[in-house]
Amino acid sequence: MFITGDVMMLTLDRVYKAARVLKEIIRETDMILAPNIRKGTNVYLKTENLQVTGSFKVRGAYFKISQLSDEEKKKGVIACSAGNHAQGVALAATKSGIKSLICLPDGAPISKVEATKRFGAEVCMVKGVYDDAYNKAIQLRDEKGYCFIHPFDDPDVIAGQGTIGLEIMEQLPNADVVIVPIGGGGLISGVAYTIKQINPNCKVYGVQAQGAPSMEHSINDGKIETLEKVQTIADGIAVKTPGDLTYEMVQKYVDGIVTVSDDEIALAILTLLEQQKLIAEGAGAVPVAAVLAGKIPDIDGKNVCCLVSGGNIDVTILSRVIERGLKMSGRTANITIALSDKPGQLSDVSKIIAQTGANVTSINYDSTDLDMNITDCYLRIEVETRDYAHVVAIKDALRDAGFEVCDR
């Protein structure tokens, strides 16, 4: 099945076996053309956010559990997860009649925690991030004798994720570039291996969050590295240390890794929601974020597949992300004006903003700032706008009318 030492090599036959096992469990998710993501590039979306658990993770989890011996199944399974692997293991274990215990970091979205419980697992919340949940799961495995289902560094899990590569090659056989999120590396290992066996000329790029670039750092430095901390809205790929197996596979089969900021991720989530009517979580949106930010090389005129790996985003986080994405795209703006405190000023400002076609959503009046004259005030206005050019036009119109627009 895999590499190094006593572990067998991963083979395409193993991936096809996983596809056969998964056939009655998962859905073959659609490949959707997204013509407005990037002009001049044929961008397609592989919609694993529409998978049965809202994420690709069920593929690897179910195939791994299906390959356990009867003795291992009797012990029950334990896993650690930022949320999506948890749901996959819970569903797979329940369908197989096996007890499951999942260790989740206490920062995991509530929606993922509750979904894991609904799929039939017992949940253990652990203070910290994914890596802390991993350590707790290993401790409980050793104490209780559970069979540990690793979220990414396991040959059968990687083979299960590789079934997405089979589907991509069937649905988009002329793909030039495939872009995949990276956390621990299980997804891109399976997808990249499978695609390279079928079409070696197809490029595979990985994307990490700038706040959790563990695989990028490891590949660049030529050795596995552990980050001191991770911080990103893409909780599904917030991993401090990549896997041993996945590190080797990424080295061998992946053509490059780029990173994207949380603001770029927020804009990608908003873009998918508005243009494609798709809800993606942060981790699932990073391939689109990389395309929008122009970080993937040589894709003009090419057929590009973005793997939207999951859609399990908490609604409270989604609302914040939408607000951030609106600001990133120039769809909302905060404008501050220094005014003399006299009647009629607000009316004049409102008329100018209305004439430019913007919509005022909130107004804040501040006369307490110690940096201004005692007879002056700051008027802070939030407006809905079309784009950055529209924001500039509003500010220019206010300045032309004699108002002092502040860059604050």
Annotated catalytic residues are 57, 309
Q: How many CA atoms lie within 13 A of 283 on its CB side?
A: 32
Strand partners, 333: 383
Element (H, E) at 14: helix 12-22
Could you tell me the two tokens for 366? 């501040």
Residue 212's closest CA among 192, 226, 197?
Answer: 226
CB within 8 Å of 320: residues ≥ 6 apart: none
The answer to whether 162 and 18 are in contact (CB under 8 A) is yes
Which DSSP string corresponds to 141-196? HHHH-PEE--SSSSHHHHHHHHHHHHHHHHH-TT-SEEEEE-SSSHHHHHHHHHHH
Chain Cα centroid distance, residue 4: 30
Could you tell me the two tokens for 351? 């008329």
The answer to whether 239 and 211 are in contact (CB under 8 A) is no
The single-letter code of the amino acid at 399 is: R
Strand partners, 206: 180, 257
Quote the CA–CA distance of 59 and 77 in Å, as a whole number.
16
CB within 8 Å of 341: residues ≥ 6 apart: 367, 375, 376, 377
Quote the CA–CA distance of 370 and 84 in Å, as a whole number.
50
Largest CA distance in the chain: 82
Residue 298's closest CA among 177, 207, 179?
Answer: 177
The answer to whether 194 and 162 are in contact (CB under 8 A) is yes
Quote the CA–CA distance of 77 and 303 in Å, as a whole number.
41
The number of helices, as runs of H, and strands, as runs of E, in the chain is 15, 14
Q: How many CA atoms lie within 13 A of 299 on its CB side?
A: 27
The answer to whether 147 and 68 are in contact (CB under 8 A) is yes
Q: Is the dihedral of CA 94, 100, 106, 108 positive or negative?
A: negative
